[in-house]
């Protein structure tokens, strides 16, 4: 059973959830000077574990690359925040691939919250693209019509420690969407900008200010040279993105290009490389579709349990409807239709209904695609078709 989470264009932030409040605009978003601090690399672990968190996750070296892992106290030296963004996105911490949401029938079963604001989850190493993804996920799971209690509790408990993307991956294309490789306000709590020997830090929320206050003794005011190093690193990252994405630059906006190509006949050709594996949806930080299914439970609390798990709109079974076996209807029986639907939803329908682009340009789908598809090239080709 595929569950659609597309809200109406009139949706606003929810006041129904006592645990959630709309993040305040940051000083940077208001155009004010943001206070900055410096922390030495050797003190970063002490700062993270000093936040009295239930768990601390950070980006660590993983073979030739890096990914998120739970850190143990004293193991923060493993942190590797200067590499390209991790393959795991922020979505996995807030919206797990699979979780139990109910046990029934049961008179004794009591739902246990996965986290609480009093025992926060700290995640260090989130990049600007994932910070942007938080706005999309928040708009889906926390709104007037529906507040997902699982997501809401995790979101309130999470402490987002973002990091400038000092070394963009070859597939990163946030620049094509008008974004920067570093957060510009938004939904981070503390942002770290790599400089020689440490990081320049700034708060992006009230939570972030409290976090920096809790670690006051570990920070000092940055020197002019350290601030200059931060600015130089940011400029170099922007230059690299501009260079690697130059061949994919378009005259029109991706949103306009896709919106004008909804009925284009070449979707069949563009979808030729898709093998319908669903990797793009799974690795994407903004894809949020899920399905619910019931199964027997092996616990004494109840004989049955309901599971929520990720789903993908490119899969043939995604939109199947109830009906006689073998004759179950689906509005998108052909792969080209499902392939087009995913792209159109991100670049046309989501902006139309939510006022947000559904893609953040992280490039993970490019890395994961078994068919070798590249979203940058696809949009460039669509513009060529329109021309």
Mean residue pLDDT of the chain comes to: 87
Structure-token pair, residue 157 = 């408990």
What is the average per-residue pLDDT within 251-267? 93
pLDDT of residue 228: 98
Q: Measured between alpha carbons, how far is 139 from 147 in angstroms, rounded to an integer?
A: 10
Phi and psi angles of residue 135, each rounded to the nearest 5 degrees, phi first: -65, -35
User: According to DSSP H, which parts of 219-349 are helical?
Assistant: 224-244, 254-259, 267-270, 279-283, 335-344
Rg of the chain's alpha carbons, rounded to an integer?
22
Residue range 29-45: mean pLDDT, rounded: 82
CA distances, 181 to each of 34, 222, 240 (Å): 18, 21, 10
Pairing of strands 158-163, 121-126: parallel
Pair 201, 192: CB distance under 8 Å: yes
| Structure confidence at residue 116 (pLDDT) | 66
**Beta strands 2-3 and 37-40, pairing class:** unpaired
What Cα–Cα distance (Å) separates residue 211 from each residue in 132, 193, 204?
21, 16, 11
Extents of the domains making up the chain: 14-248, 254-386
The string of pLDDT tens digits covering residues 44-94 is 999 999 998 989 999 999 888 899 999 988 776 789 999 999 999 999 999
Tokens of 186: 């938004």
Q: How far apart are CA 287 and CA 280, in angstroms?
A: 9
For position 333, what pLDDT does the model report? 86
Q: pLDDT at residue 206 above 60?
A: yes
pLDDT level of residue 173 (50, 70, 90 thresholds): very high
Strand order in the sheet with 304-310: 2-3, 290-296, 304-310, 98-104
For 252-275, what is the HEC assignment?
A: CCHHHHHHCCCCCCCHHHHCCCCC
Nearest to 138 by CA among 158, 122, 124: 158
Q: Which band of pLDDT confidence, cut at 50, 70 and 90, is reported for residue 382?
A: very high
Bridge partners, 124 (sequence order): 58, 161
Task: Compute the distance between CA of residue 131 and CA of residue 192 in angstroms, rounded to an integer.
Answer: 13
pLDDT at 301: 58
Distance CA 304, CA 294 (A): 7
Q: What is the pLDDT at residue 300? A: 64
Task: Give whichever of 61-75, 130-144, 287-301 has the largest mean pLDDT.
Answer: 130-144
Q: Are strands 2-3 and 121-126 parallel, antiparallel or unpaired?
A: unpaired
Interval 96-105: pLDDT, tens: 999 988 888 7
Q: Which two three-digit tokens encode residue 270? A: 């563009």
Higher pLDDT, 22 or 292: 292
- What pairing do the DSSP bridges indicate for beta strands 55-62 and 121-126? parallel
Give the pLDDT score at 68: 96
CB 370 within 8 A of CB 275: yes
């Amino acid at each position: 059973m595929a569950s659609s989470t597309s809200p109406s264009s009139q949706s606003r932030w929810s006041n129904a959830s006592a645990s959630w409040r709309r993040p305040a605009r940051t000083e940077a978003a208001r155009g004010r000077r943001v206070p900055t601090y410096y922390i030495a690399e050797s003190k970063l672990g002490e700062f993270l574990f000093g936040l009295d968190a239930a768990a601390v996750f950070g980006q660590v070296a993983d073979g030739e690359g890096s990914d998120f892992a739970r850190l143990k106290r004293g193991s923060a030296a493993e942190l590797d925040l200067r590499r390209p963004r991790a393959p795991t996105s922020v979505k996995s911490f807030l919206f797990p691939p699979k979780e139990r949401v109910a046990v029934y029938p049961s008179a004794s079963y009591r739902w246990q919250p996965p986290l609480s604001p009093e025992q926060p989850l700290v995640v260090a190493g989130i990049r600007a693209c994932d910070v942007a993804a938080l706005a999309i996920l928040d708009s889906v799971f926390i709104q007037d019509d529906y507040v997902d209690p699982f997501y809401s509790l995790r979101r309130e408990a999470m402490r987002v420690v973002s990091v400038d993307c000092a070394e963009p991956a070859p597939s990163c294309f946030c620049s094509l969407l008008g974004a920067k490789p570093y957060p510009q306000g938004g939904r981070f709590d503390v942002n770290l900008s790599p400089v020689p020997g440490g990081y320049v830090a700034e708060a992006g929320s009230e939570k972030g200010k409290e976090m920096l206050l809790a670690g006051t003794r570990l920070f000092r005011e940055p020197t002019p040279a350290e601030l200059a190093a931060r600015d130089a690193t940011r400029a170099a990252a922007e230059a690299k993105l501009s260079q690697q994405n130059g061949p994919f630059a378009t005259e029109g906006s991706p949103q306009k290009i896709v919106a004008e190509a909804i009925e284009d006949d070449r979707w069949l050709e563009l979808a030729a490389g898709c093998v319908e594996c669903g990797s793009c949806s799974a690795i994407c930080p903004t894809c949020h579709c899920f399905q619910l299914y019931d199964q027997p439970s092996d616990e004494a609390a109840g004989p049955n349990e309901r599971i929520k798990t990720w789903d993908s709109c490119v899969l043939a079974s995604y939109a199947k409807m109830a009906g006689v076996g073998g004759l179950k209807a689906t509005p998108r029986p052909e792969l080209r239709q499902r392939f087009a639907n995913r792209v159109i939803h991100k670049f046309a329908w989501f902006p139309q209904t939510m006022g947000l682009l559904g893609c953040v340009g992280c490039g993970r789908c490019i890395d994961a695609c078994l068919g070798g598809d590249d979203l940058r090239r696809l949009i460039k080709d669509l513009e060529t078709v329109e021309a």
